[in-house]
Amino acid sequence: MSELIKVTINEQDFEVEKGARLIDVCREKGFNIPSFCYYSDLALQASCRMCLVRIEKMPKLQTSCTITCTDGMIVTTQSEEIEKAQRAMSEFLLANHPLDCPVCDRGGECELQEMIFDWGDVEERFTEKKNVEPEKFLSPIVANDPQRCIVCKRCTRVCDEWMGEDAIEAGNRGVNTVIGTYGGWLNCSQCGNCIEVCPTGTLLDGVYRHETRPWELDQTITTDVYGSDGMQLSIGSRGGLVHRIVARDRYVNGLNGEFLDVKARFAHEFVNHPDRIKTPLIRYKKGGKLIPATWDEAIHFVGQKLTESGKNVGVVASPRLTNEAIFTLKRFAKEVVGTDNYAVSDRYDLSVFFDNLSAPLATHKEIRKAKTLVLIGGEPEEEQTFTAKQMRQAVRNDGAKLIIVNHTPIRLSAQASQFIHINPNSYDAFVLALTDSANDDANAKKLGIETKDLADFRQTLSETEGDTVVMFGGDLSPQAQSVLANSADAFDGTNAKVLFHPLPLYNNSVGANDLMEGKKSLSEVLKNSKALLIGGSLQEADTNLLANKDFIVVQELFETETTKYADVVLPAASFAEVDGTFTNNTGFVQRVRQAIEPVNQSKADWMITTLIAREMGADFGYNFSATMVFKAIADSVSAYEGLRYPALKDESKPVQVKHAISAKKDLSKEFDVLKSNVEKLSDEANKLTATPRVGHKLHRLTTLTSKTAQFHLLAHGNPKPENLLVSPLVQFNLDGTPRTETADAAAVGVTDRINLKVEY
Q: Which is nearer to other proteins, 209 or 452 (CB)?
A: 209
The minimum distance between CB 96 and other proteins, in angstroms, equals: 19
Nearer to other proteins, 367 or 599 (CB): 599
Residue from the set 30, 59, 102, 646 that interacts with other proteins by CB under 8 A = 102
Is 212 among the residues that bind other proteins (CB under 8 A)? yes
Considering the rule CB under 8 A, would residue 751 count as an interface residue with other proteins? yes
Question: In terms of C-beta density within 10 A (0-12 exposed, 13-18 middle, 19 or more buried), how is residue 260 classed?
Answer: buried
Question: Closer CB to other proteins, residue 108 or residue 478?
Answer: 108
696: enclosing H helix or E strand:
none
User: Which among 206-214, 307-315, 576-584, 694-702 is the span making contact with other proteins, rule CB under 8 A?
Assistant: 206-214
Q: Work out how close the CB of 101 gets to other proteins at its nearest, in angstroms, rounded to a whole number.
A: 7
Q: Count residues binding other proteins (CB under 8 A).
A: 17
Which stretch in 203-211, 515-523, 536-544, 548-556 sits in contact with other proteins by CB under 8 A? 203-211
Q: Give me the least distance between CB of 520 and other proteins, in Å please.
A: 50
Can residue 103 be called a binding residue for other proteins (CB under 8 A)? yes
211 part of the interface to other proteins, by CB under 8 A: yes
The Cα 256–Cα 231 span in angstroms is 6
Among 18, 210, 365, 664, binds other proteins (CB under 8 A): 210
Sign of the CA dihedral with 14 first, then 20, 22, and 23 last = negative
Compare residues 87 and 753 and give the one whose CB is closer to other proteins: 753
The minimum distance between CB 104 and other proteins, in angstroms, equals 9
Q: Which range in 94-102, 496-504, 535-543, 614-622 contacts other proteins by CB under 8 A?
A: 94-102
Q: CB of residue 719 vs other proteins: minimum separation in angstroms?
A: 15
Q: Is 750 in the site for other proteins (CB under 8 A)?
A: yes
**Residue 19 to residues 58, 71, 416, 690: CA-CA distances in angstroms?**
19, 10, 29, 44
- Shortest distance (Å) from residue 268 CB to other proteins: 17
- Residue among 102 and 646 whose Cβ is closer to other proteins: 102
Mark the segment that binds other proteins (CB under 8 A) among 205-213, 265-273, 332-340, 431-439.
Answer: 205-213
Stretch that binds other proteins, among 123-131, 207-215, 404-412, 416-424 (CB under 8 A): 207-215
Assess contact for 222 and 149: CB atoms under 8 A: no
Under rule CB under 8 A, residue 216 binds other proteins:
yes
How far is residue 129's CA from residue 139's CA, in Å, rounded to a whole number?
A: 29
| SS3 at position 384 | coil
Pick the stretch among 87-95, 100-108, 192-200, 541-549 that binds other proteins (CB under 8 A): 100-108
The nearest distance, CB 212 to other proteins, in angstroms, is: 6
Backbone angles phi and psi of 657, in degrees to 5: -75, 155
Stretch in the footprint of other proteins (CB under 8 A) among 146-154, 476-484, 671-679, 746-754:
746-754
Q: Which of 258, 262, 219, 211 is nearest to 237 (CA)?
A: 219
What is the Cβ-side half-sphere exposure of residue 381, based on CA atoms within 13 angstroms?
Answer: 23
* 101 vs 730, beta carbon nearer other proteins: 101
Give the per-residue contact string, 64-93, with other proteins (x = CB under 8 A; - = no): ------------------------------
Stretch that binds other proteins, among 96-104, 390-398, 471-479, 670-678 (CB under 8 A): 96-104
CB of 210 to other proteins, least distance (A): 4
Decide whether 237 or 560 has the Cβ nearer to other proteins: 237
The 134-173 site mask, x for binding other proteins (CB under 8 A), equals -x--------------------------------------
The stretch among 208-216, 306-314, 439-447, 555-563 that binds other proteins (CB under 8 A) is: 208-216
Our CB check for other proteins shows the closer of 213 and 693 to be: 213
Minimum separation from the CB atom of position 216 to other proteins (A): 6
Q: Determine, following the binding rule CB under 8 A, whether residue 101 of this chain makes contact with other proteins.
A: yes
Least Cβ distance, residue 263 to other proteins (angstroms): 22
Which one of the spans 322-330, 537-545, 618-626, 745-753 is the region binding other proteins (CB under 8 A)? 745-753
How far does Cα 69 stand from its chain's mean position? Answer: 36
Q: Give the burial string for 401-439 (b: 16+ CB within 10 Å, else e).
A: bbbbbbbbbbbbbebbebbbbbbeebbbbbbbbbeeeee
CB of 87 to other proteins, least distance (A): 23
Residue 590: which residues within 8 A CB-CB, separation 6 or more? 223, 230, 232, 255, 581, 582, 583, 584, 648, 651, 654
Q: How far is the CB of 267 from other proteins (least distance, A)?
A: 19
- CB closer to other proteins, 135 vs 169: 135
Q: For 535, which DSSP code? A: E
The single-letter code of the amino acid at 698 is: L
- Using the rule CB under 8 A, give the single segment among 95-103, 318-326, 399-407, 493-501 that binds other proteins: 95-103
Distance of CA 378 to the CA centre of its chain: 15
From the CB of 138, what's the least distance to other proteins, in Å?
A: 15
Sole binder of other proteins in the list 87, 305, 665, 753 (CB under 8 A)? 753
Q: How far apart are alpha carbons 90 and 74 in whole angstroms?
A: 26
Question: Which lies closer to other proteins via its Cβ, residue 107 or residue 478?
Answer: 107
Residue 333: DSSP 8-state = I
Q: Cβ of residue 119: shortest distance to other proteins, in angstroms?
A: 21
Bridge partner residues of 374 (DSSP)? 403, 470
CB of 643 to other proteins, least distance (A): 40
Among 127, 754, 757, 760, contact with other proteins (rule: CB under 8 A):
754
**Site membership for other proteins, residue 215 (CB under 8 A):** yes
One-character DSSP codes across 727-760: SSS-EE-TTSPEE-SPPPGGG--HHHHHT-----
**To the nearest whole angstrom, how small is the minimum distance from the Cβ of residue 750 to other proteins?**
6
**281-282 and 568-571 as β-strands: parallel, antiparallel, unpaired?**
antiparallel
* 677-690 exposure pattern, b = at least 16 Cβ within 10 A, e = fewer: bbeebeeebeeeee
- Alpha carbon distances (Å) from 470 to 357, 491, 647: 12, 8, 29
Shortest Cβ 136–other proteins spacing (Å) = 11
Q: Is 155 exposed, middle or buried (0-12, 13-18, 19+ CB in 10 A)?
A: buried
What is the smallest separation between the CB atom of 143 and other proteins, expressed in angstroms?
Answer: 10
The backbone torsions φ and ψ at residue 587, rounded to the nearest 5 degrees and listed phi first, read 85, 10
Could you tell me how many helices (H) and strands (E) the chain has, helices first? 23, 30
* Listed residue (257, 251, 242, 154) closest to 203, CA to CA: 154
- Residue type for position 453: D
- Tell me if 213 contacts other proteins by CB under 8 A: yes
- In three-state secondary structure terms, 378 is coil
Q: Toward other proteins, which CB reaches closer, 137 or 640?
A: 137
Cα separation values, 695 from 157, 265, 352, 380, Å: 20, 15, 29, 11
Measured distance CA(293)–CA(283) in Å, rounded:
10
- φ, ψ of residue 361 to 5 degrees: the values are -75, 145
Nearer to other proteins, 122 or 754 (CB): 754
Give Cα separations from 544 to 89, 549, 594, 749 (angstroms). Answer: 66, 11, 35, 47
Q: Which of 76, 89, 166 is nearest to 121 (CA)?
A: 89
Q: Where on the chain is the footprint of other proteins (CB under 8 A)?
A: 100-103, 107, 135, 209-213, 215-216, 750-751, 753-754
